[in-house]
Chains A and B, each alone.
Chain A
Amino acid sequence: MPRTIDLVVNGVRHTVDADPDRPLLTVLRDELDLTGAKYGCGEGQCGACTVMLEDRALRSCQTKISVAAGKRITTIEGLEQHGRLHPLQEAFLEHDAMQCGYCTPGMIVSCAALLKRNPNPTEAEIVQAMQGNVCRCGTYPRIVAAMRSASMKMRRPA
């Protein structure tokens, strides 16, 4: 039986009428029209669907909406604040850290979560944390460079 569930996405509360077992990814994409998180594999192996739950990176294709209910969900669409890009987004622009761009939202959100718990990751720590994100175009060196430059900028006092 369907029932209503509250999802707090990018600071906005949505009440959705959906099976509590439905994956968060399809609810975000198909009910809330937040299509920044992508389907890539459906088994949590590629990272394209990554969103943040509270401050942790989460594979939304593997997460039931009941688990996310009431908690703070951040998608790629929520990283831009008042027209200002997140430093990671700026760094991806600067480094052209993409080709087709399909993995990009998942990469940025995964790294945003990493920087929340470790604001100064080494290259090895970035590689370790990002191992679950796939870029089939092979732009990994640019992604690492963008992530490092963003982390440096974020630590500098404004």
Chain B
Amino acid sequence: MSQHTTTAAPPHEHPPHLRHHFETLTQQFDAGKLGIWLFLATEILLFGGLFCAYAIYRANHPEIFLYAHQFLDKTLGATNTVILLCSSLTMAWAVRASQLGQRKLLVALLAATLAGGGGFMCIKYVEYKAKFAHGLLPGTHFHPHEEGEEHAATAAAPPVAKPAPPVSGPALEVSRIPAAAAGPAGTVPNREPGESEGLGKRPSNAQIFFGIYFLMTGLHGIHVLVGMFAIGWILIRSARGDFGPGYFTPVDFVGLYWHLVDLIWIFLFPLLYLVK
């Protein structure tokens, strides 16, 4: 099966790692790069929707953000930022190491990156645990209280209106949301604002901040976990000696994904933690 080639590679030589539908390594590499950048574009648009929700609620209800962000710990957030930035360095360095055939260094750097991801998730776990303990949960579960208190005075659940009318036929899902049956424009009245631990008067609908917080950091955290799996897989393959100057694209592409995860956090940190 002869092929027309237009680059310097001699036609009969078939470099290893060249898939049969590509003609040269350069073409394959460029195609892969283009592909991964297109995938990163989809991730940007995915998170873009969340940033849009953030922008709208912050612009239209700034009182919610000014109040609720005080519950976040700036130090933990900044630590997480530093961890991710350093892990970005170790990842970029790891790509360089794979390009230069420095196998032991590559393995060490990937392990360091993985550790960085692990550290990030540990801090996230600590933060989430504190939120749960204080009842700072999204949506209908929001009832801020001191740790240990089960039913604080301010933990008034929204007035439950009539349940949604049943739809005929079998149904597996039942909605947890009270049907809009009372109040102006068909909504239930806003949650009663209340006091909270010296942080100022709680505005109505404060739970929206935590909805956005958990969605944004949660989706980001899922991406960190996926990235950690990918890095772990690359780590195993590096230890086996799969990568070198002739073939390093998986390291490169996983690296690009990891940098994107870092990029998103670079924006999440000031927007959520440094609101004032």
Q: Does B bind A? A: no
